[in-house]
Amino acid sequence: MMQFSDYIFYFFSSILILASLKVITANNPVYSALSLVLAFFSAAGIWLLLHAEFLAIALVLVYVGAVMVLFLFVVMMLDINLESLKRGFWSYFPFAILIAGVFIVEIYLVVSDKFFLESQIETFGTSKSNTHSIGNILYTDYLLPFQISAVILLVAIISAIALTMSGHKSHKAIDPKDQIKVKRNDRIRIVKMKSEKR
């Protein structure tokens, strides 16, 4: 007998699968980016069903709200040539099938519970809210990894700026010192020409 939550699960899952299919089959990259947004929304819905409300909200806020919007901007700004992207699809197809097969076997192995023990992995009850539990563990037990991830992000920011900033040429203001030093000869060149005869 199916419960009400099962119907919701199947509803979100079918939307998720359809949206994911649309991501890879859509002709227009903007459509596929928008389908990805839909896929994220449905995944967030499934997470909500699993009582993982913090992850669901984070997914919507971070991926849908920030990452995908940026992604859409980039897609719209770049002039992507679809023909060159689609070339060679069929020649890569057997390889893609192979990889997909490997993935399916891997997922089966993980889900089948034959090799990995699931029992020892800690789970939290639903007595406290998700946010509370994550916050609790993040700032006590996992303090060091949390801090290091902050440092890694800082290094990423420094790297991005150090590698892309081109120094002084970003502004067009003129240095007064240079303005005073300017001489007539720097600006004007008088060319002697013969006057043309009529």
Partner 1 sequence: MLTNILTVALPEIIILISAMSVLLLGVFFKNKNASSLFGITQLALLIAAYFTSQLPIESKLLAFNDMFVADSLSLYLKLLSYFGLSLVLIYSRDYLLKKNLLNGEFFSLVLFALLGINLIISSYHLLTLYMGIELLSLSLYTLVAIDRKRKEATEAAMKYFILGAVASGFLLYGFSMLYGITGSLYLSKISEQIGVTEINPMILSFALVFVTVGIAFKFGAAPFQLWVPDVYQGSSTPITMFIGSVPKFASVAMLIRLLYQTLDHLVMDWQLMLLVMAITSMLLGNITAIAQTKIKRLLAYSTISHVGFMLLGLATGTITGISAALFYIATYVLMTLASFGLIIRLSNQRGDIDKISDLSGLVKDQPWVAFLLLIIFLSLAGIPPTIGFYAKFSIIQATLQFGWIWPAVIAVISALIGIYYYLRMIKIAYFDDTIKATKTSKSVNNELNLTLTMNVLALIVLGLFPSTLMDIATLTSALIF
Applying CB under 8 A, does 140 fall inside the site for partner 1?
Answer: yes
One-letter amino acid at 100 equals A
Read off φ and ψ for residue 197, nearest 5 degrees.
Answer: -85, 145
Applying CB under 8 A, does 115 fall inside the site for partner 1?
Answer: yes
Query: 3-class DSSP state for residue 181?
Result: helix
Applying CB under 8 A, which part among 22-30, 34-42, 86-94, 157-165 lies near partner 1?
157-165
Applying CB under 8 A, does 158 fall inside the site for partner 1?
Answer: yes
Could you tell me how far CA 137 lies from the centroid of its own chain? 26
Rounded CA separation 114/108 (Å) = 9
Applying CB under 8 A, does 170 fall inside the site for partner 1?
Answer: no
Applying CB under 8 A, does 142 fall inside the site for partner 1?
Answer: yes
Number of residues that bind partner 1 (CB under 8 A): 26
Applying CB under 8 A, which part among 55-63, 128-136, 147-155, 181-189 lies near partner 1?
147-155
Applying CB under 8 A, does 111 fall inside the site for partner 1?
Answer: no
Q: Which of 2, 24, 78, 163 binds partner 1 (CB under 8 A)?
A: 163
Sequence-separated (6 or more) residues with CB below 8 Å from residue 137? none
Read off φ and ψ for residue 2, nearest 5 degrees.
Answer: -85, 135
Q: Which is nearer to partner 1, 166 or 185 (CB)?
A: 166
Tally Cβ neighbours within 10 Å of residue 66: 10
Sequence-separated (6 or more) residues with CB below 8 Å from residue 5? 49
Applying CB under 8 A, does 120 fall inside the site for partner 1?
Answer: yes
- How near is the Cβ of 162 to partner 1 at its closest, in Å? 4
How far, CA to CA in Å, does 24 sit from each of 19, 30, 35, 55, 101?
9, 12, 9, 25, 18
Q: Which of 121, 180, 188, 191 binds partner 1 (CB under 8 A)?
A: 121
The residues that touch partner 1, with contacts defined as CB under 8 A, are 110, 114-117, 119-121, 140-145, 148-149, 151-152, 154-156, 158-159, 161-163
